[in-house]
Structure 1
Amino acid sequence: MSLSKYKFPYKPRPRQLEVASEIQETLKTANVILEAPTGFGKTPVVIYSLLPFLDRGGRIVWAVRTGNETDRPIEEFRVFREKSNARFIAMSFRGKKDMCLLAKEFGETLDYSEVSYICSRERKRCPYYNRLEEGVDYSILLSRGVLTYSEVYEWARKKKVCPYFLQRELLKVADVVSLSYNYVVDENLSWTIKGAFPLSQSILVVDEAHNLTQLNLGGDTVTEGTIERAKREAEELEARDMAEFIDKIQENVEKEFSSLGEEESQVFSPLKLIDGREEMIEKMKILGEEVRDMRFREGKRPHSSLYHLANFLEEATSYEGERGVALIAEKIDGKIHLNIWDMRSSEILSNVWKKFRRVIFMSGTLSPIEAFAETIGVKNYKPISVPSPYDETNASVYIVKDLTTRGEELSQEMARKYVEAIGKVLERVKGNTAVFTASYRIQLKLLEAGLRETSQQKGYQVFVEKRDMSGQEAGEVLQEFKELADEGKGLLVAPMGGRFAEGIDLPGKELVCVFLAGIPFEKPTVKTNLYISYYEELYGEGKGRLYAYIYPALRKASQAIGRALRSPRDQAVIILGDHRYNNYLPLLPDYVRELRQEISHTKLDHIQPPWEKIRL
């Protein structure tokens, strides 16, 4: 069926309609890997290419990185429904954590496991679930055609029916569903949609697909704090033998890992930590269930550190010696974290894609595409690459030849150079700026070297991403930063790979300058070396280091650069603050390669912003 039947709801940008036709044709025989720059309009192009498939009765699963992003593609589907000759039902799907009305009665945010506990325990007595089971006419809701998560939630709340299980009913008649990656790649969650949505007849669209390469699919983490809280719970239950057992675990953790430096890591053996006493894990889980039950009956969160620790030890023990799974102890912010780290993304994901009729992977940062395809286990595909629309009227790009974060630690002298360089840039651009650092460690070094004070002296308000920042807190910080756009006095400091360096839009004056402080290579710890070794085992010595170490870092850098250029009318200064970027130019956006100039950090007050050449 031809695309000419449908109206593209926007004035087409160069190559959009051409790429849509290419996607439509390719899907007849192969999967698609689409790499297109920020500002190209990947989402509307892919939707447009899929309209004939929907017309023939096909269905679409649109996977996004987090639940908070599920509404974004659905809003785009709304535009197509309103402005094109397309008729379909599209919906955003969220987990119980966001949709359970019983959980909301606790008055605080519960995690997924706590809400699942409440749901499984109370479902038969839940008035919202029972009212839905009795039958409810949701035809008026469906008549809207496009449903965001909040629309479903509010309608269900007013009707006093369960929003989560209402979603499950809506799935049976929906043509399009937008949900988080977890519902596609995690076997423990994918059953949720399998029964209602025929995957084998569906096309899967994976948004921001670069995130797939380092998914920790079977991972979990406990900290020293988790262990301490578990011991207190055992003491409160007067389970003396369990308290002594956990005390021994604490002692073993302290003995084994107290000498680790910040962000250093080491392999651990769960059997060694528990002195081989596996029988205590099941007893710990039973006690944890007691704590959950007791707290729930008291009207408190049904959370138990005993239960979490037991599950972690059970999983870690089962994974010990498993190829592709690393058990890692590391020190972060002065605390020991024990991690189950599953590196088997290509092995696990290769089976996921087979469940769907076809898959479209899309992102602005997938190069080299052959490496991306290999590391996520997709074989039958056609790459479609779109060149950037940006030129010297959009961007001024500088590589600073006398700055680098190379080495085990950033010296005080180099940190001061970075702060001096950033100060000169802020004085010159006089607009909202983001400093994206190679890591939280580098971020801390720059702040210690006076980055905040220097920026404030130049009239900037400084916003810093914290490692433990909640989604709500991050949203408030981002909003405050955006509100300074007209004044041009906001400075955002965040790590590459963090929540602000990808997946957010900062168009126009909201962000006019990006400064990359270093290259986000992982610190060469035991954890990093294990990852490289595993990839060398899978792909060979030459590819292993590239796939596990080089490519992920440059993708993070490219994502960070892309925050400032969201459309062909945006203008920005891009500062690559590390001379090593010259070694990796083929892995950076094409306009970076074409527009780059070398400069000393002492000359950054002489840079020329593109808006001084021409106003777009």
Structure 2
Amino acid sequence: MTNIVKISVRHLVEYVFRSGSIESGGFRTSTPLTDGTKAHQKIQKTYTSSDQKEVYLKTVIPYETITMHVDGRADGLLFQEDGLVIVDEIKSTSRALVTITEETYPVHWAQAVFYAYIYAKDRELAQMTIQLTYVHVRTEEQKQFQRIMTLPELESFIMEVVSQYAAYAKAKTQHIVDRNSSSKELVFPFEVYREGQHKLAGSVYKTILDKKVLFAKASTGIGKTISTIFPAIKSIGEGNLQRIFYLTAKTITRTAAEDAFRLLIANGLDMKVVTITAKDKICFQEETICTAEHCPFADGYYDRINGAILDIFENESLMSRAVIEAYARKHRVCPFEFSLDLAYTADAVICDYNYIFDPRVSLKRLIEDQKKQSVLLVDEAHNLVERAREMYSAVLLKSSFLQVQKAYKDINAAVAKAAKAVNVCLAEKRKQENIAEKQLDEDLAVLVEKFTEVAEEELVQNVESNQLLLDTYFAASAFAKICRLYDKRFVSYVEVNKSEVMIKLFCLDPSYLLQQMGKGFRSKVFFSATLAPADYYKNLLGGTEDDYVLSIPSPFVHENAEVLVQPLSTRYRDRERTLLPMVQFIRDVLNKQKGNFMIFFPSYDYMNKAFEAFKTEAPDVKTIVQETGMSEELRENFLTAFEPSGDERLVGFAVLGGVFSEGVDLKGDRLCGVMVVGVGLPQIGFERDIIKDYFTNEGYSGFDYAYVYPGMNKVLQAGGRLIRSEADHGTIVLIDDRFLQPKYQKLFPEEWRHYKVVN
């Protein structure tokens, strides 16, 4: 059987002709697409009436056992009086045109030659003229190169390109056949569904079938990971999907997703799954400097990457961090860039939210080409609200521009001048401290945009530009991007600290941008055990009236968990007064209950004070305390300490909303009780109050949106650490009098509503 391979001209030639090294600290030009489009349009306006622009071309190329269906758009077809036809390929650049020669970018020639071949073959032309037109995005200066090629020369070139792609194409097409058949035949990996599990899986399948969005609250213990992944895989088998993105914010939930895929692969699934690990975590070097001079894995990366991809693709299914690292060392390629390149060929990608939703780092190539056949499975979706606020906010520091101004005074006058302009503008904002401005400072936005342009030119021209300029460029580029997104859902404000001036573009409501970044995907599934209240999350995550909403209660009987409420005030003003009574209460509960406990506090300071008091009240109890900035090894040691209860119990002191209050799975006797101190309200502050005022003005309960809902979500997550399976039993203790207020009680899950009040 002949396998059909569909690919764009651009992606085909980029695969075959990529070469060289990763340069400039991972620097990528950030010139907005609109700037490139404007440059294209300006040149296209000079075409004559007989010329054509944005010409769609396609062809079919048989090669051995595969048939290539290749298409793309030529920027221009120029028709000469002598009958010759010119294919014009326009490329916008920040690079000084004097440094670009005819041989600088073979990939650009390849793209233009491909268009020339398709056009000449279809019209039986003897020869074509290929023209590359480079245009500088800032100066609009142009430079052109031309070549004339006969049809046989064009065909010979194209067949050589196809031959270099064929090995990967054959492996990929055969894999898709195997993937689809194994997905269709795959059965659920457990003998029975847990209560609620079949309903969740069915809802996810229907959501994908109907091309809809689902908001699912599924209580702890249902098995959310397998219940979302399995129906997505079945959808691939039915031909409704090509790719799954499993998005999560935490390493521990990433591991759960890997485990689910590993189980399904062991049960016969043929699927390529890639996990993307953050660059600073997976980098092999002590210092992350992505240049050929500093890193052997960046040096010649593009010369070796195709071989590395083909090797891992033919030999591995689950490409976890460890697997990617092993192949990266084998082929001497950067493990982070390797994982990104693998993401474009994988069937499933496990990654952080930002690779989809952050406009500054998203997988743009993949998104634009394949999102119509992709589903987003957004795990622990309650975390996405605050993460999105961070993604869509940006900060500038005056000091960075002052340092660049001084450093480049004698190196690059244009960079120094642009940095000085931003520095002066920020200095003039000292008097605007802590004032929330609704309007964007357009003058500052223009100055920052100008700085990114000249800084980009310097970085493109001089690979060895210093780290200061690179860091400041990245900050300015991020700021400029957010300036272009700025609307009524933002405010800007200034903070002053001695000589430092900081300006922040602060996103209050991320719903619109989440909606825009998620546009075009076939389906999205937002799920969490604590996606409540549903209207709040649906509103802030960009939901609409047409979206599906699902709520599944706990599959475990209420008797599994005893819920106690101790109405003792833990408000900030009362903490000193109630500290000792609270610690004595904790001691008394522990004396009556067996097994290991975790106690969650709203801050490190409060936790440490309670811990010191507890050691005095219960000196014989074995304890362990969360510390700030714990490494992954220390976190693992913390959790490993919770052994099945024997003669000695362990009491862990941890911070609410921290790494141990979410995604931690201590089953059976490893954890017998959880105590939560306080209702988790975020600390009252300037930003929170701005959020409160914004949503109040929008007609919602601003205090609930800014404080109550985010706080109670932390409480619910911490409480969810306890009952993880049918065999788990234990005690949940809620310490605060506010837990008896209707505002908070209506947020209790069904399984907490049989609580008892204790004195």
* TM-score clears 0.5: yes
Which amino acid counterpart does residue 220 of structure 2 have in structure 1? Answer: T
RMSD, aligned α-carbons: 4.5
Determine the structure 2 residue equivalent to 1:578. 736
Structure 2 CA distance, aligned partners of 1:86 and 1:276? 54
Q: Secondary structure at the match of 2:521?
A: coil
- Cα gap change, 1:270 to 1:157, in 2 (>3 Å): farther
Higher strand share: 2
Which amino acid counterpart does residue 79 of structure 1 have in structure 2? Answer: L
Structure 2 CA distance, aligned partners of 1:351 and 1:442? 40
Question: How many equivalent pairs are there?
Answer: 561
Structure 1 CA distance, aligned partners of 2:215 and 2:440? 45
Q: Note if 1:528 corresponds to 2:688.
A: yes
Determine the structure 1 residue equivalent to 2:561. 395
Q: Secondary structure at the match of 1:410?
A: helix
Structure 1 CA distance, aligned partners of 2:356 and 2:233? 22
Determine the structure 2 residue equivalent to 1:410. 574
The superposition leaves residues 163-194 of structure 1 with CA deviations (integer Å, 9 ceiling, x where unpaired) of: 34443443344221111100110122223452
Which amino acid counterpart does residue 561 of structure 2 have in structure 1? Answer: A
The superposition leaves residues 440-498 of structure 1 with CA deviations (integer Å, 9 ceiling, x where unpaired) of: 45435535xx33533761322231342xx154365245345435865654333333222
The aligned runs of 1:350-365 (5 Å cut-off) are: 350-365=515-530
The superposition leaves residues 247-295 of structure 1 with CA deviations (integer Å, 9 ceiling, x where unpaired) of: 9989997x998xxxxxxxx44789999x999969977998999999999
Report if the CA contact (8 A) 1:77-1:146 is conserved. Answer: yes
- Out of 706, 712, 721, the position equivalent to 1:554 is 712
- Cα gap change, 1:289 to 1:21, in 2 (>3 Å): same
Determine the structure 2 residue equivalent to 1:598. 757
CA apart distance, 1:421: 2.0
Q: Secondary structure at the match of 1:52?
A: helix
The aligned runs of 1:289-438 (5 Å cut-off) are: 318=483, 323-327=488-492, 340-379=505-544, 380-401=546-567, 403-406=568-571, 409-438=573-602
- Cα gap change, 1:392 to 1:191, in 2 (>3 Å): closer
The superposition leaves residues 406-442 of structure 1 with CA deviations (integer Å, 9 ceiling, x where unpaired) of: 3x53342122222222222333335322221234454
Report if the CA contact (8 A) 2:293-2:299 is conserved. Answer: no
CA apart distance, 1:384: 2.1
The aligned runs of 1:488-567 (5 Å cut-off) are: 488-538=648-698, 540-541=699-700, 543-567=701-725
TM-score, scaled to structure 2: 0.63
Q: Secondary structure at the match of 1:187?
A: coil
Determine the structure 1 residue equivalent to 2:327. 155
- Out of 219, 235, 241, the position equivalent to 2:393 is 219
Report if the CA contact (8 A) 2:597-2:652 is conserved. Answer: yes
Which amino acid counterpart does residue 361 of structure 1 have in structure 2? Answer: F
CA apart distance, 1:297: 8.7
Q: Secondary structure at the match of 1:178?
A: strand
Q: Secondary structure at the match of 1:189?
A: coil
Which amino acid counterpart does residue 204 of structure 2 have in structure 1? Answer: I
Structure 1 CA distance, aligned partners of 2:200 and 2:445? 59
- Cα gap change, 1:189 to 1:307, in 2 (>3 Å): closer
- Cα gap change, 1:361 to 1:49, in 2 (>3 Å): same
- Cα gap change, 1:377 to 1:278, in 2 (>3 Å): closer
Structure 1 CA distance, aligned partners of 2:622 and 2:670? 14
Structure 2 CA distance, aligned partners of 1:272 and 1:190? 25
The aligned runs of 1:7-86 (5 Å cut-off) are: 7-12=187-192, 13-29=194-210, 30-57=212-239, 58=241, 59-66=243-250, 69-83=253-267, 85-86=268-269
The aligned runs of 1:86-485 (5 Å cut-off) are: 86-100=269-283, 104-105=284-285, 107-108=286-287, 110=288, 115=290, 118=291, 126-133=299-306, 135-136=307-308, 138-139=310-311, 141-192=313-364, 194=366, 198-214=370-386, 215-216=388-389, 217-220=391-394, 266-267=434-435, 318=483, 323-327=488-492, 340-379=505-544, 380-401=546-567, 403-406=568-571, 409-440=573-604, 442-443=606-607, 446=610, 450-451=612-613, 453-454=615-616, 457-466=619-628, 469-472=629-632, 475-476=635-636, 478-479=638-639, 481-482=641-642
Structure 2 CA distance, aligned partners of 1:161 and 1:339? 37
The superposition leaves residues 370-420 of structure 1 with CA deviations (integer Å, 9 ceiling, x where unpaired) of: 33212211123222222113335421110012x1223x5334212222222
Structure 1 CA distance, aligned partners of 2:479 and 2:230? 48
Structure 2 CA distance, aligned partners of 1:161 and 1:7? 37
- Cα gap change, 1:235 to 1:489, in 2 (>3 Å): farther
Q: Secondary structure at the match of 2:598?
A: strand
Structure 2 CA distance, aligned partners of 1:516 and 1:232? 46
Report if the CA contact (8 A) 1:463-1:490 is conserved. Answer: no
Aligned residues with identical type, % of pairs: 24
Report if the CA contact (8 A) 2:587-2:618 is conserved. Answer: no
Structure 1 CA distance, aligned partners of 2:369 and 2:255? 19
- Cα gap change, 1:444 to 1:359, in 2 (>3 Å): same
Question: Which is bigger in relative contact order (C-alpha 8 A, separation at least 6)?
Answer: 1
Report if the CA contact (8 A) 1:289-1:307 is conserved. Answer: no
Q: Secondary structure at the match of 2:724?
A: coil
Which amino acid counterpart does residue 45 of structure 1 have in structure 2? Answer: S
State which structure, 1 or 2, has the greater radius of gyration over its C-alpha atoms.
2
Report if the CA contact (8 A) 2:245-2:375 is conserved. Answer: yes
Q: Which runs of 5+ in 1 are unaligned?
A: 258-265, 601-616
The superposition leaves residues 288-346 of structure 1 with CA deviations (integer Å, 9 ceiling, x where unpaired) of: 99999999799xx8797766776688789x599953334457899xx998754322311
Which amino acid counterpart does residue 757 of structure 2 have in structure 1? Answer: E
CA apart distance, 1:553: 1.8
Which amino acid counterpart does residue 89 of structure 1 have in structure 2? Answer: K
Report if the CA contact (8 A) 2:272-2:313 is conserved. Answer: no
Determine the structure 2 residue equivalent to 1:604. none
CA apart distance, 1:211: 1.1
- Cα gap change, 1:292 to 1:353, in 2 (>3 Å): closer
Structure 1 CA distance, aligned partners of 2:486 and 2:264? 51
Q: Which runs of 5+ in 2 are unaligned?
A: 1-180, 411-415
